[in-house]
Amino acid sequence: MEEKMSEENIEDVRSLEAQIECLQAEVAALQRHQQDIHKEITFHFSGQMQDAMLYMCGQRQEGGKEKVLSRLKEELEELEEDLKQQTRMNGISLDSCTRKTLQSSGSKLVQQLCVSGHCSELVFQVEFQLSEVKNGERSERTISDLNVVMDASDLQNFSSFLSGVEESRDLLLFFRTLRTFSDRCDDRRRTFQHFQEKYPSVVSLSGGCMSDVMSLNHPELPGCVLFIHWSVDVSREGGVTQKIDMLTKIPEKVLQLFPSQAVGGAAEAFQSLLRILGPEAAMESVIRAVSLSQHTQL
C-alpha cells in the first residue's frame, strides 16, 4: 500500500515539475516579447511618445496615468495632422498599414510591411520587407521583396512600369509616378464628363467615367461615329505621356454620297487643332461641328 502511494506521489511531483517547466517557458517567451517591444519603441519613437510607450510597457514608473495619456494624445494629434498635410501635398491617401517584426536583435530590425491606399480612383497595395540597421546615431534602411498589387485589367500601360519598380525597389519612384499618372487620368475623366454633360445628345462614354474613348454620334447619320481616343502611357522608367487621336467610323455608302468631302483627312486636321488650340478646345470644336451638322439636318 505504501509503495503504491509513493509511486503516486512521484507521478504527482513529475506532473508538477512539467507544469513548472511549461510556466517557465511561457514567462521566458513573454520576457522576450517585452524586450522586442522595447527595442521597437527605441527604434521608432522618441520624446514624449517613447516615454509614454515605455511607461505603458512597464519600463518606467514615473508620472501618473493621466500624464501618460496626455502625452499619447498630444503625440497622436501631431501625427494625424502631419498625415493630413502629407495627403494634401502628395494626393495619396493610406487606408491601412500592417507591420510584422521578423527579426529584432541588437542594432538590426527587420519588418514585413503591407500598405494599402488610393490615389484618386487608383487603388494600390504595397508589400515589402524593411531592414533597419543602427550604427551609433545613424541608421540605414533598405527595402527588399517589394510587391505592388493593382488592378492590371484597367492598367495595361502601367504593368511594365510596376515590374521595373519591383526590380529596382524604388518606392519613391512608384508613388511619384502614381500621382502623375493619376493626375493625367483625372484630367481625361473631367474633360470627357464635361462634354458628356454639355452635349448629351452627341457625346457618349461607353466605358464609363474612366473610359479612354469618347464617342461622337450623329442621330441623323446612323453608323457614322467619331472616336476621341485619349491614352495615358507610363514608360518603364516612370515617364508619363499622353496621346490624343481622332478615329472615324463612316460606312462606305455615306462616303460615296459625299465624294468631295475630305473625310479621310479628319484625323490629321484634328491633330492640327490640338497643336493650335489644345485638347479641350480642339475637342469642343469637333463636337460643335457635329452638333451644328445635326441641327442643319433638322
Q: Give residue 15's pLDDT band: very low, low, confident or very high (50, 70, 90).
A: confident
Residue 282 pLDDT more than 80? yes
- State the Cα–Cα distance between residues 295 and 120, nearest whole angstrom: 38
List the 138-149 sheet strands across, edge first.
93-105, 108-119, 122-135, 138-149
pLDDT of residue 139: 80
In the listed set 180, 195, 228, which residue is the last one of a domain according to the structure?
A: 180
Range(s) of the domain holding residue 8: 2-44
How many other CB atoms are there within 10 angstroms of residue 253's CB atom?
Answer: 8
Compute the half-sphere exposure of residue 19: CA atoms within 13 Å on the CB side of its CA: 6
Which H or E run contains 127?
strand 122-135
Residue 163 lies in a domain: yes
Same domain, 158 and 207: no
Residue type, 171: L
- Amino acid 295: pLDDT: 45
Residues 138 and 189 grouped into a single domain: no
More confident call, 64 vs 202: 202
Instruction: Indicate the pLDDT class of residue 27, thresholds 50, 70 and 90.
Output: confident
- On whether the pTM is more than 0.85, the answer is no
Q: Examine the fold and report which residue of 180, 204, 232 is the final residue of a domain before the chain moves on.
A: 180
Question: Which of 132, 155, 180 is at the close of a domain?
Answer: 180
How many folded domains does the chain comprise? 3
| Mean pLDDT of all residues in 68-88 | 66
d(CA 51, CA 67): 10
| Residues 219, 291 within the same domain | yes
pLDDT value, residue 80: 63
Q: Radius of gyration (Cα) for the chain, nearest Å? A: 32
pLDDT over 90 percentage in the chain: 21
> How do residues 172-219 score in pLDDT, each as one tens digit?
899 899 999 989 999 999 999 999 999 998 899 987 878 889 998 876
* Same structural domain, 168 and 191: no
Stretch 281-298: mean pLDDT, rounded?
71
